[in-house]
Chains A and B, each alone.
Chain A
Amino acid sequence: MRIGEIIETTSSGFVAESFELNRPPALGSLVLVRLPDETALYGAVTYGQTAGVDPSRRAVRRSTDVVFDGAIYEQHPELEHILRTEFGVALVGFVAAGRLRHHLPARPPPLHFSVQGVSREEVCYFTDGLLYFRLLLIPYGDVPPQQVLAANVRWVYEQRGHDDIWLDTAAREIATLLKNDSAALLTVLYAIDPGDVPMLREQGGVA
């Protein structure tokens, strides 16, 4: 399930163009890039944006009283070609030669390589250990890293079938990592608290 192609790449992460306009992978979700030597690089989505392919062309208002939202794309079929959706991914680990590591790989992924979604089994395997949280707290893009971390925790929680034990462990790990910044810590904890909010469970906690 290829979902995008790398268009910028650095040691700490990459930017990919999404194959589906206006639908980048969910914030905080895990994606992977498979290298020729079978190494799988894992990353977490840190932001998404949609804009003109040509950076000098800014979007203009196209809706009318009758035509708005999805209908705009039918009315202006050229939009699919002059807009593009990008998403940023922070690298959080890799699996090489059967071993899972939660640190940055030696080299950035190659330009133009495909970005794929991650299966539930792969998610569970990768997130059994929580060391990768430290990498997520490094800013990559404009979205504050606490929001990215919170999004990732909600997404993984849902992928793991609402694993409450994992969630509690994750919360405590985050409390340890952010113990010197209570404002940031509470931001994250409030954002991942399953609480008694049924809406959160139905949506799977992902916006």
Chain B
Amino acid sequence: MPLKLGLIGPQVDDMAQTIARLSPEHDRFLTEAQDLLRGLNADALREKLRWQQNQQMRLPWLVAMPRGSLSGTVTSPAPPVDFSVVGCDASSIPPDRHSSVRCYVLNVGYAFLTYGRRPSAVLEAQSQLCFRDQDLYVFPDRRDVPIEGALLGARMEVETLRVLQGVMENGARPALILRDGPLILWTLQSESKEVQRALLRDLFGSMDRLREAGVPLAGYISYTNSRDLANSLRVWLCLTQPNKCEHCQSEKRDLCMALAKMHDRELLGFLTEGERSELFGSSSQILEEYGDHRVEFFYLNVGGEIVRVEVPQWVGSDATLLEFVHAAINDQCRRSPCFPPYPPALLEAHEQAVITTVERRLVEEIIDRAVGRQGQRLVRSAKDDSKRRRGV
């Protein structure tokens, strides 16, 4: 309420005008960048990137390692006659820091949509209350590293795949598991290796199972802000060290600066509807722990926007699975009533996963009462109390 909209308004106008003024320049650089992309030798770039990675200093940016060519496109194959797409999503009621009882709720939602001659749908959610030590701590034996924040996010991923793995035992094939968001858990980057491995172990267990079952897994990132490929181009252009830009004497400096603001989805704007780019590898550090499940990605024009699709390398290197993923995602987007399109499987999975405010309060109440019945008093913090009442 105290936000002074009146002051911000004119500043917004200012910004809009600046953008408009700079736009033609940006377009010129974009064209130049795309030309660069098309003309660049993929092998040469791979060389330079590897060389750069072997340097002592890590690259300050994420770069895309092309598996094939840089500007190659792949048209969409037709999907099989009968197939399924399983969208999944998860949400949680995080542990209440203002309560004396430690627990949290996970809700995994999935939408199992089957198309073809016998269309059907299963929309379900599995909810779980986590209160035991093995749920609350990364290292339950020593009650160390409480699971919350980013760790809770990772825990949700693990739980999601565990549930999906169970679902896929029904044998419906071919099927694609589609995840809203990245497969690369870069949020774990700042954790210790010990924590990372502990959390990822179960994740990879589920992924192994899926791989054995022949069920591909993909992450769908809408309105991707990735600049991996743009960064790769910058590395290519750089004559010295990346991030020593203030000393740069290169004639391509302006282009490089422009690339610094460019997004991959702009660069790949030449993709037509249904086309995907070739595969790229990610330089995300966490992927070092992924082993066989190292994640690759491609960009895809779904008609209305260009999205980033991440897949484990066992999908990326299997032509059949990769084709299936490409075709299934296109098919999903064709069925979407929105614009830009969004896979219905993900939409419904999200609907299944979401926990409303009312539901959150309800859970709190249930917990309160149950605890109360056992003779325990539930103590809330003062801050929490003041937030609840919001008096004047």
Contacts and interface: CB of A to CB of B under 8 A. Distances in A.
A77 B120 contact: yes
A57 interface: yes
Contacts of A54: 351
B115 A82 contact: no
Given A60-B337, A82-B123, A77 B114 contact: yes
Contacts of A60: 337-338
B325 interface: no
Contacts of B344: 76, 78
B6 interface: no
Contacts of A61: 337
B113 A77 contact: yes
Contacts of A82: 123, 348, 351
Contacts of B113: 77-78
A49 interface: no
B175 to A, nearest CB: 14
Contact of B119 (A57, A62, A77, A81): A77
Contacts of B337: 60-62
B119 A74 contact: yes
B114 A78 contact: no
Interface string B106-117: 000001011100
Interface in B90-113: 111, 113
A78 B338 CA distance: 15
Contacts of A76: 335, 344
B110 to A, nearest CB: 11
Contacts, number: 35
Contacts of B111: 78
Interface residues of A, number: 15
A81 B121 contact: yes
Interface in A171-193: none
A119 interface: no
Contacts of B123: 78, 81-82
A66 to B, nearest CB: 10
Which of the four size classes fits the interface of chain B? 10 to 19
B248 to A, nearest CB: 50
A68 B40 CA distance: 46
A80 interface: yes
Contacts of A81: 121-123, 348
A75 interface: yes
Interface in A31-70: 54, 57, 60-62
Contacts of A73: 119
B289 to A, nearest CB: 35
B208 to A, nearest CB: 29
A150 B235 CA distance: 78
Contacts of A74: 119
Nearest to A54: B351
Nearest to A59: B337
A77 B351 contact: no
Contacts of B338: 60
B348 A78 contact: yes
A74 B121 CA distance: 10
A75 B333 CA distance: 12
Q: Which of A61, A79, A82 has the most CB of B within 10 A?
A: A82
Interface in B121-156: 121-123
A79 B348 CA distance: 10
A203 B237 CA distance: 76
A75 to B, nearest CB: 6
24 contacts: A57-B351, A60-B337, A60-B338, A61-B337, A62-B337, A73-B119, A74-B119, A75-B119, A75-B335, A76-B344, A77-B113, A77-B114, A77-B115, A77-B119, A78-B111, A78-B121, A78-B123, A78-B344, A78-B348, A79-B121, A81-B348, A82-B123, A82-B348, A82-B351
| Smallest CB-CB A-B distances: 10 pairs | A77-B121, A77-B119, A78-B121, A60-B337, A81-B123, A62-B337, A74-B119, A78-B348, A77-B120, A81-B121
Given A60-B338, A81-B121, 12 more contacts: A54-B351, A57-B351, A60-B337, A74-B119, A75-B115, A76-B335, A77-B114, A77-B120, A78-B121, A78-B348, A81-B122, A82-B351
